[in-house]
Structure 1
Amino acid sequence: MFQITIHSGTNDLTLQYQKPTLLASVLQEAGMDFSMPCGGKGTCGKCRVTARGALSEPGEQEKRILGEALQAGVRLACMTTALGDTELFLASRDSVVLSEGELPDFVLEPEGKGLGVAVDVGTTTVAVYLYDLGIGRLLGEDSFPNPQALYGADVISRIQKALEGEAEALRSCLLIRLRESFLRLCAGQDQDSGMVENVVVTGNTTMLYLLFGESTEPLSHAPFEVREFYGRTLKPSALGIPEFGRARVTVPPLVSAFVGSDIMSAVLSSGMTRRRGLSLLIDVGTNGEMALWDGEKLFCCSTAAGPAFEGAGISMGMNAAPGAVSGVRLREGRLEYTVIGGGEAAGICGSGLIDAMAALLRAGLVDETGCVDEENEPYSLLLTEQDGEPAVRIGDSGILLTQKDIREIQLAKAAICAGVRSLAHEAGRKVDEVEELLLAGGFGSFINCESAGRIGLIPPELAQKARAVGNAAGMGAVLELLSLPCREESRGIAARAELLELSSSPYFMEQYVDSMLF
């Protein structure tokens, strides 16, 4: 018998073990908000912890990824085994999770008069809202990183983990955090959790399937069949939270394997289908879901942007947490930067990546093909190498962008931009005819639209037409919670949605290649 003590901020937790245990498994069992974007394959280097005690020797791959950091006690949780008494030290870095959004005018007509809860289960973050149904008043809200990040940063890696026998573990870790959030919200408002009569849960298709115990196997391969489209009310037992024994669980409709309830909820709260003009909504996440309304029809698609803008796959990438470089600009021949929370930079998040790329392009440090210009004399002090490849220093922050990082950004931004152009093409319209671009989700609320247009994440002609709408998916769930007419409207939106399958679209592939250029 030996013990492992986890030091996280001001909290300590000690667990007992009888046999050698992988550090990642320890953190998972402890319920820590801990991310492994690569799903524990030992390739991303993001699951770093400081550890001391009886530990397995580092292998060649861990040595290559960590380098000199090994001497300071840094290890990869997915590749290190505790053999005896061990101490783990986790940096306290709470993610910046956006839960705010815009609610349009609506008719208050809830199903029930007690308490209601709306939930938006995102791949990266989860938002929870507690309402008094009788008067439609927000009593409290909560948000937290999706604990399933331990199993991978994107839906593909989590589907794979589910197929490998981890489906119940994926469901359980999320339910535990949801239950904690629900009970904390109720207790904080001196409300009886037994008074919750209605729960509305929105999310992408994979998140909903994992939460409600549906098999994700059909989502793992072509033709990516969907067997449950929701758009209905489930039994209270569907969530498996005993305190909500009398609550009806409603799930908004989804359209396909990769166009989920979340984008339909976002369309609902945006009100775009109530207007006559050409409107475009994008949730710039790992799935890159988007919808285009032409006044009569709703065209939808999902493009695999990947988790680069969440910090995964980027050598010094991280989520939007204290210590992340969140903004970069070129000023008087220097790269200036801002750090969330102030202080020293620990990495760079998605908004910082977009700004940094725009600044590097303006400085000529990166050309239109994405190659680092190693002959750029005016900015030669910013040029360096990492692991034998060109890299650029982000001012004096200590943060580097490597040539490989830039390629990852190219792939992600090209997928989003090509998806936008493909939707417009499908609708028989030109991109510059779009009257408004709505950027949904936390990431969309923090990016600089001018920078996004400069690097081609969004078509440049839309940069001045863009505005952030916050957590539009969460607000759509709130509307379905508080208004039966809105719930009916949501069903109508999904029924009218026309799906564009980008994987079989020659036009998308053509635009994808073209959009690779900066």
Structure 2
Amino acid sequence: MRLKIEFEPIGRRGEFPQGITLWESACNLGLALQTPCGGQGKCGRCIVKIAQGEVSPPTPADYRFLSAEQIAQGYRLACQAKPLSDCRVYIPPESLSIAQRLQLEGQEIPAKPEPAISTFNLTLTPPTLDDLRSDAERVIQSLKISHGVEASVDFAVLQELPERLRSQGWQLKAVVRQGEIIALLPPEAAPLGLAVDLGTTKIAAFLLDLESGRTLANRGLMNPQIPYGEDVISRITYAIQKPGAAAELQKVVVEAINRAAEEMCAEVNAHPSHIVEAVIVGNTAMHHLFLGLPVSQLGYAPYVPAVQGALEVKARELGLRMASGAVLYMPPLIAGYVGSDHVAALLAAGFDEIEGPALLLDIGTNTEICLAYRNGQPGKSPLTSLSCASGPAFEGAHITHGMRASPGAIESFSLEDDEVKFQTIGGLPPIGLCGSGILDVVAQLRKAGVIDSSGRMGSHRKLRKTDGQLCFVIAERGEGLPPIVFTQKDVREIQLAKGAIRAGIEVLLRERGLSPAELQEVVLAGAFGTYLRPESALEIGMLPKLPLERFRQVGNAAGAGAKAMLISTTMRAKAEKLTRQVEYIELAAVPDFAEIFAKAILL
């Protein structure tokens, strides 16, 4: 009996005979787990979490290295656990011997630091029998006398005020925000800010000096919600079907952000209590799950968010470990499937001012697309956005040897003079195909005539039949491992994904009465947009055929936009104004979308 095993967040999957361990399954897929003991259960380093399915009972080695609580939560040693059914397994970052590649940086926006906070150094006189003013009164009066600033004290700051004053020798830096003292820092400490791009798959976090605007540290990590579902629909379903599930999804993300903040602060010899402001952007589902807002209404038409405008929340209310009175700014959303990450990306790409016609695409499981056209038809909005369900194929899901961008993934591919050439991440032996490599394969096979415009495979010396379907052999592997192949079914998956994106573009262009040739610029954002080759996207018709110089790859634009809003209230105002200028198109309401999509899937 063979069982299907899927490893997240890598996105590798395969079928294996019952009776072998999860560690052996991972090795067969080329995944490098931490196993200094060689899989003997002696080091406790190969910890995984069983997200779905059944495995063999815990062994003495499991009980030696894992707590009873961890075992109850589904954690096991991969070298000990044997699947008893199909399983989905989550590998924590610390259990992987090589980290995944994450896109952190994006094209920066010139933004003058104009933070929402102000800082004031105070030197107070200690109380005496002749001066019995309260500690709070002493701070408030000193702030007014020394700096002419009137402010109240946040209640949580008040609770720690006496100890803080005395431990710091009555010298402090008061952080004031909108007439309220939200933190008392050591005099030498810089007020810090945290910007986070909370993606469905990946999280990018940045630590900034709010006064200089300088980025001090950054961290990239996989979203720990992945074991609960690869896409937002799966997580929404999980959140509404199981009691306490929504709180669980919120908790794992909050803890991940807290750990990232602690690591970045340690890197720059600071403390999380020095973080006084935060900005977090994400799609609407991530936004709602993080804030603990209801998500059931996002799962069915008309997909209405619980709230759309910008929010300011005390960070402590969400469990974020920062300064006692630190404030979290959540930028506005556009629609049920177009969130504040899209707003941040538009801001970073200059779409608040660009004349156009220009497109911005952030390609992912849900691809957000915006058309900017300020000199268009009278009465029309300057920005039009939509979201198309492109699916997870470009992240390796549903592709036979697909995987996320990790060491050993084929990231580029060419078919030159009938010879296969490829490059893997890290120069390691190939173990699968990530998004950019998948796109290259389809483009090169189409260019070489191996597949026709309908996506059907024809003839080639590297085509063979496996399990009743044609497949193209990408790479042979030794040691009894099966070759890496690209199947007819894989081609169909990419046609569906690219068709959704191209159909979305066509709807936007038609709405504004434009032809593809009139586009002056196409901006590609996000990790996939950074690493894909525009030539490949053009070859398969995913993007309009335009001169290559009209394409601009900007990296993590959402992260760049979040950083700009963190250090500048002017940028926040721009983002909020930009959001009001966006007209949203719901593809479900486009009568002939099925016809547009049918044409768009052709290669």
**What range describes the TM-score normalised by the shorter chain of this pair?**
0.7 to 0.9
- DSSP 3-state at the match of 2:464: strand
Deviation at 1:490, TM superposition (A): 0.4
Deviation at 1:257, TM superposition (A): 0.7
Match of 1:12?
A: 44
Match of 1:156?
A: 233
What TM-score, normalized by structure 2, do the two folds share?
0.73
Deviation at 1:156, TM superposition (A): 1.0
The 1:129–1:9 alpha-carbon spacing in structure 2 relative to 1, beyond 3 Å, is farther
Query: What CA deviation, in whole Å up to 9, does each residue of 1:156-192 have, x standing for no partner?
Result: 1111111122212211211111110011111111112
**Superposition pairs of residues 330-409 of structure 1, within 5 angstroms:** 330-373=415-458, 376=459, 379-380=460-461, 382-396=462-476, 398-409=483-494
**Superposition pairs of residues 106-117 of structure 1, within 5 angstroms:** 106-113=111-118, 114-117=191-194
The 1:430–1:449 alpha-carbon spacing in structure 2 relative to 1, beyond 3 Å, is same
**Superposition pairs of residues 491-506 of structure 1, within 5 angstroms:** 491-506=576-591
On the 8 A contact 2:498/2:542 being kept in 1, the answer is: yes
Match of 2:334?
A: 255
- Within 2, Cα distance between the matches of 1:21 and 1:118? 36
Larger Rg: 2
**Structure 2 residue 222 is matched with structure 1 residue 142:** no
- Within 1, Cα distance between the matches of 2:287 and 2:437? 30
**Structure 2 residue 383 is matched with structure 1 residue 298:** yes
How many aligned positions are there?
A: 466
Match of 1:467?
A: 552
- Within 1, Cα distance between the matches of 2:315 and 2:415? 54
**Superposition pairs of residues 67-216 of structure 1, within 5 angstroms:** 76-77=87-88, 92-113=97-118, 114-165=191-242, 166-216=245-295
The 1:304–1:15 alpha-carbon spacing in structure 2 relative to 1, beyond 3 Å, is closer
On the 8 A contact 2:194/2:208 being kept in 1, the answer is: yes
- Within 1, Cα distance between the matches of 2:502 and 2:56? 36
RMSD: 3.0
Find 2:406's aligned residue among 302, 321, 330: 321
The 1:5–1:351 alpha-carbon spacing in structure 2 relative to 1, beyond 3 Å, is closer
Between 390-399 and 435-444, the greater mean CA deviation after superposition? 390-399
Deviation at 1:242, TM superposition (A): 3.5
- Within 2, Cα distance between the matches of 1:441 and 1:210? 21
Query: What CA deviation, in whole Å up to 9, does each residue of 1:357-399 have, x standing for no partner?
Result: 01111221111111111xx2xx22x111222211111144631
- Within 1, Cα distance between the matches of 2:55 and 2:259? 24
- Within 2, Cα distance between the matches of 1:482 and 1:127? 17
On the 8 A contact 1:449/1:464 being kept in 2, the answer is: no
Find 1:416's aligned residue among 497, 501, 504: 501
Residue segments in structure 1 that go unaligned for 5+ positions in a row: 32-39, 41-48, 63-75, 80-88
On the 8 A contact 2:411/2:434 being kept in 1, the answer is: yes
- DSSP 3-state at the match of 2:456: coil
On the 8 A contact 2:396/2:402 being kept in 1, the answer is: yes
On the 8 A contact 1:5/1:12 being kept in 2, the answer is: no
On the 8 A contact 2:344/2:559 being kept in 1, the answer is: yes
- Within 2, Cα distance between the matches of 1:173 and 1:487? 28
- DSSP 3-state at the match of 2:493: helix
On the 8 A contact 2:115/2:567 being kept in 1, the answer is: yes
Query: What CA deviation, in whole Å up to 9, does each residue of 1:215-263 have, x standing for no partner?
Result: 1100011111112114121122343124443210001111111011000
What TM-score, normalized by structure 1, do the two folds share?
0.84
- DSSP 3-state at the match of 1:208: helix
Percent of matched pairs sharing the same residue: 34
The 1:21–1:317 alpha-carbon spacing in structure 2 relative to 1, beyond 3 Å, is closer
**Structure 2 residue 532 is matched with structure 1 residue 447:** yes
- Within 2, Cα distance between the matches of 1:470 and 1:487? 21
Match of 1:285?
A: 364
Deviation at 1:91, TM superposition (A): 5.2
Which amino acid counterpart does residue 154 of structure 1 have in structure 2?
D
On the 8 A contact 2:368/2:387 being kept in 1, the answer is: yes
Deviation at 1:283, TM superposition (A): 0.1
- DSSP 3-state at the match of 1:329: strand
The 1:56–1:94 alpha-carbon spacing in structure 2 relative to 1, beyond 3 Å, is closer
- Within 2, Cα distance between the matches of 1:184 and 1:142? 8
Residue segments in structure 2 that go unaligned for 5+ positions in a row: 1-20, 24-32, 37-42, 68-73, 119-190, 375-380, 478-482
On the 8 A contact 1:437/1:462 being kept in 2, the answer is: no
Query: What CA deviation, in whole Å up to 9, does each residue of 1:394-426 have, x standing for no partner?
Result: 144631111111111110000001111111111
The 1:511–1:150 alpha-carbon spacing in structure 2 relative to 1, beyond 3 Å, is same
On the 8 A contact 1:24/1:78 being kept in 2, the answer is: no
On the 8 A contact 1:96/1:321 being kept in 2, the answer is: yes
